[in-house]
């Protein structure tokens, strides 16, 4: 399957249109891989996987490093492709550079993480046990549109270095980066033998799940549930990284300049199109009014990255249907008595849909704005009295991805953070989980399932462990009878 992205003029029929979020125009098409094509790709990669897995881990890492070098050659094309699909410039540059760092990091760290050992049996003096790490032959990675390159490679890279073959299916909303990425891959043939990208939408994703030995899915809870059910029917592991409704708790002792900075940044970065975006803010009553006042001041000062994508901060909303979700949540909140203090109106500028940072008060948990994922630059703020109330509000959610606590001291923040049911808690900062690869964390509740993608577990989850039980003495026969 060649996932080449063609321009409109040459586009054949059986392809999906790709929308440019800055213009609103569909200016490219993405090929749709059929189930038969996915199966053929799976067969090809499986045939090459055993030889790949037999190579020493350092050699696999070296191949990934070579790919990073080749990707660096394609850096400009990758950034252009990401920019065309997402409409944001600086983050596209950051994504490409981050992907290169991620490749090189795993290449250098992996050899230290997969050392097999031999140890004596506790019960049988003549027996030793060797453990063997056996990679899943073929891993499927399915990714969303909010960080197209980062989330297409975040699981694929450790799976490859573990010795798996990998098929990636990126979101059909943001697939243009696949072209330059595959060009670079073709120049590293040993890796191209075990890594492929297939493009398409839900049908292609379903076909992928039905043909792999483990699946890494990043996306919505609704789709994650379908993927988990399909994986369960096949008894294959599903590593699910799903949505969030991350709370920020601001205690009265917090430095309000710092707290408003963190909340604003954590809520609107990448337009709020981030799973670990801060989507509800609880502020202790004595500082509630000054906090809101300062937050609104800062929110009003944020400029749109329009018309010049390289200046300003907020680009267009990437996925048109998400604009409708955001609008519906704001309408519901207003209808229930919420007040929008700034932002709040989706603007059409040159065909792109933009929303300025939107601070909403007089909110409560009857509103979808406080309970369902918004995925936009919207900041609902609610007061609380005691730390226990804040903890109860934070935990009153179906989600448990991450959270942050802002307080006068780290000890105070830690005491609250320990009580929050979520996998990654930033203390006196926000949304740090994407920058701290070392900290293992699980997604709680509906935010996900399966081993940590961070830390050493991010690699080790791609192995099954085998015990090679060695008898050094004489094996026993049937006891005297
Ligand atoms: P989505 O669930 O709509 O789609 C994700 C991917 O699944 C796409 O590639 C899509 O084509 C594919 N897909 C759709 N139906 C499928 C099926 N039946 N079987 C297999 N694959 C199928 O999600 P989205 O709108 O692209 O992304 C936004 C969501 O992703 C948000 O909920 C966000 O929180 C979540 N997300 C989570 C993380 C995390 O690490 N926890 C990171 C980023 C985004």
Q: In angstroms, what is the span from residue 375 Cα to ligand 1's centroid?
A: 12
Residues 298 and 350 in one domain: yes
Say if ligand 1 is within 6 A of residue 155 CB.
no
Give 21: exposed, middle or buried? Use CB within 10 Å, 0-12, 13-18, 19+. buried
Residues annotated as catalytic (active site), given as ranges: 241, 275
Q: Which CATH number does the domain housing residue 44 bear?
A: 3.40.605.10
Q: In angstroms, what is the span from residue 140 Cα to ligand 1's centroid?
A: 14
SS3 for 322? helix
CB 344 within 8 A of CB 326: no
- Does residue 21 belong to any structural domain of this protein? yes
CB 301 within 8 A of CB 127: no
Residue 170 has pLDDT above 90, yes or no: yes
Residues 451 and 386 in one domain: no
Q: Which of 141, 207, 220, 454 to mutate to test the pocket of ligand 1 (most atoms within 8 A of CB)?
A: 220
- Does residue 225 belong to any structural domain of this protein? yes
How many folded domains does the chain comprise?
2
Tokens representing 85 are: 């699909």
Query: Please, what is the Cα angle at 357 between 82 and 278, to 5 degrees?
Result: 80
Say if ligand 1 is within 6 A of residue 141 CB.
no
The confidence score (pLDDT) of residue 436 equals 86
Residues 291 and 176 in one domain: no
Mean pLDDT of 359-365: 98
State yes or no: cis peptide before 411, omega within 30 of 0.
no
- Does residue 233 belong to any structural domain of this protein? yes
Per-residue pLDDT tens for 125-139?
A: 999 999 999 999 999
CB 215 within 8 A of CB 208: yes
Residues 266 and 137 in one domain: no
Q: In angstroms, what is the span from residue 98 Cα to ligand 1's centroid?
A: 21
SS3 for 269? helix
The domain of 310 spans 246-434
Task: Specify the DSSP class assigned to residue 147.
Answer: S
Residue 367 has pLDDT above 50, yes or no: yes
Per-residue pLDDT tens for 427-469?
A: 999 999 888 889 999 999 999 999 999 999 999 999 999 999 9
Range list of H helices, 187-319: 189-192, 202-209, 221-233, 256-268, 285-300
Residue located via tokens 């027996």: 127
Distance (Å, rounded) from C-alpha 236 to C-alpha 447? 19
- Does residue 441 belong to any structural domain of this protein? no
- Does residue 224 belong to any structural domain of this protein? yes
Tokens representing 389 are: 């109330």
Confidence of residue 232 (pLDDT cuts 50, 70, 90): very high
- Does residue 265 belong to any structural domain of this protein? yes
Say if ligand 1 is within 6 A of residue 171 CB.
yes
Residues 178 and 220 in one domain: yes
The confidence score (pLDDT) of residue 9 equals 42
Of 263, 395, 272, give the one whose Cα is nearest residue 330: 272
Q: Which CATH number does the domain housing residue 324 bear?
A: 3.40.309.10
Residues 141 and 234 in one domain: yes
Residues 343 and 226 in one domain: no
Write the residue with the smallest CA distance to atom 14 of ligand 1.
Answer: 202
CB 421 within 8 A of CB 438: no
Say if ligand 1 is within 6 A of residue 215 CB.
no
Confidence of residue 11 (pLDDT cuts 50, 70, 90): very low
Beta pairing partners, 347:
354
Distance (Å, rounded) from C-alpha 291 to C-alpha 259? 8
Residues 100 and 223 in one domain: yes
Say if ligand 1 is within 6 A of residue 373 CB.
yes
Residues 235 and 284 in one domain: no
Task: Specify the DSSP class assigned to residue 302.
Answer: P
Task: Specify the DSSP class assigned to residue 157.
Answer: H
Say if ligand 1 is within 6 A of residue 145 CB.
yes
Say if ligand 1 is within 6 A of residue 201 CB.
yes
- Does residue 364 belong to any structural domain of this protein? yes
Per-residue pLDDT tens for 251-298?
A: 999 999 999 999 999 999 999 999 999 999 999 999 999 999 999 999
The confidence score (pLDDT) of residue 14 equals 84
| Index of the ligand 1 atom closest to the CA of residue 322 | 25
Write the residue with the smallest CA distance to atom 30 of ligand 1.
Answer: 219
SS3 for 455? coil
Per-residue pLDDT tens for 75-108?
A: 999 999 999 999 999 999 999 999 999 999 999 9
Residues 417 and 459 in one domain: no
Share of the chain above pLDDT 70, in %: 97
What mean pLDDT is reported for the chain? 96
Mean pLDDT of 354-359: 98
Q: In angstroms, what is the span from residue 242 Cα to ligand 1's centroid?
A: 7
Which residues 6+ apart lie within 8 Å of 270 measured at CB? 88, 91, 146, 147, 277
- Does residue 294 belong to any structural domain of this protein? yes
Residues 361 and 329 in one domain: yes
The confidence score (pLDDT) of residue 1 equals 39
CB 283 within 8 A of CB 441: no
The confidence score (pLDDT) of residue 481 equals 81
Residues 208 and 352 in one domain: no
């Amino acid at each position: 399957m060649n996932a080449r992205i063609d321009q409109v003029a040459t586009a054949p029929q059986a392809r999906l249109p790709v929308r440019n979020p800055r213009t609103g125009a569909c200016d490219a098409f993405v090929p749709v891989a059929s189930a038969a094509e996915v199966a053929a790709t799976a067969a090809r990669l499986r045939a090459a996987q055993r030889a790949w897995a037999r190579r020493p881990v350092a050699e696999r890492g070296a191949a990934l490093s070579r790919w990073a070098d080749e990707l660096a050659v394609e850096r400009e094309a990758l950034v252009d492709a990401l920019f065309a699909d997402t409409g944001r410039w600086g983050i596209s540059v950051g994504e490409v550079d981050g992907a290169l760092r991620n490749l090189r990091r795993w290449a250098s760290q992996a050899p230290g993480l997969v050392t097999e050992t031999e140890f004596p049996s506790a019960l049988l003096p003549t027996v030793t046990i060797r453990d063997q790490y056996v990679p899943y032959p073929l891993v499927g990675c399915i990714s969303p549109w909010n960080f197209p390159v980062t989330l297409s490679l975040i699981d694929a890279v450790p799976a490859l270095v573990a010795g798996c073959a990998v098929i990636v299916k990126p979101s059909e909303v943001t697939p243009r980066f696949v072209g330059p990425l595959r060009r670079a891959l073709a120049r590293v043939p040993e890796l191209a033998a075990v890594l492929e990208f297939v493009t398409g939408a839900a049908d292609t994703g379903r076909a992928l799940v039905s043909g792999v030995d483990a699946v890494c899915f990043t996306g919505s809870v609704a789709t994650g549930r379908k993927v988990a059910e399909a994986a369960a029917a096949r008894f294959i592991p599903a590593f699910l990284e799903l949505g969030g409704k991350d709370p920020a708790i601001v205690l009265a002792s917090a430095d309000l300049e710092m707290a408003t900075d963190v909340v604003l940044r954590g809520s609107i970065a990448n337009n709020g199109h981030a799973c670990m975006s801060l989507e509800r803010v609880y502020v202790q009553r004595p500082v509630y009014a000054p906090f809101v006042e300062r937050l609104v001041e800062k929110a009003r000062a944020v400029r749109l990255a329009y018309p010049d994508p390289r200046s300003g901060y907020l680009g267009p909303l990437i996925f048109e249907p998400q604009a409708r979700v955001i609008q519906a949540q704001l309408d519901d909140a207003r209808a229930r008595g919420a007040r929008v203090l700034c932002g709040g109106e989706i603007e059409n500028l040159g065909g792109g849909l933009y929303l300025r940072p939107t601070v909403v008060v007089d909110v409560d948990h009857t509103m979808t704005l406080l309970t369902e994922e918004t995925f936009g630059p919207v900041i609902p703020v609610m007061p609380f009295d005691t730390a226990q109330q804040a903890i109860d509000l934070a935990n009153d959610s179906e989600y448990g991805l991450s959270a942050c606590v802002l307080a006068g001291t780290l000890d105070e923040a830690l005491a609250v953070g320990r009580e929050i049911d979520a996998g990654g808690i930033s203390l006196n900062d926000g949304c740090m989980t994407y920058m701290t690869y070392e900290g293992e964390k699980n997604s709680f509740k509906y935010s996900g399932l399966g081993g940590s993608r961070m830390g050493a577990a991010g690699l080790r989850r791609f192995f099954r462990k085998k015990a090679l039980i060695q008898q050094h003495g004489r094996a026993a026969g049937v006891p005297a009878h």
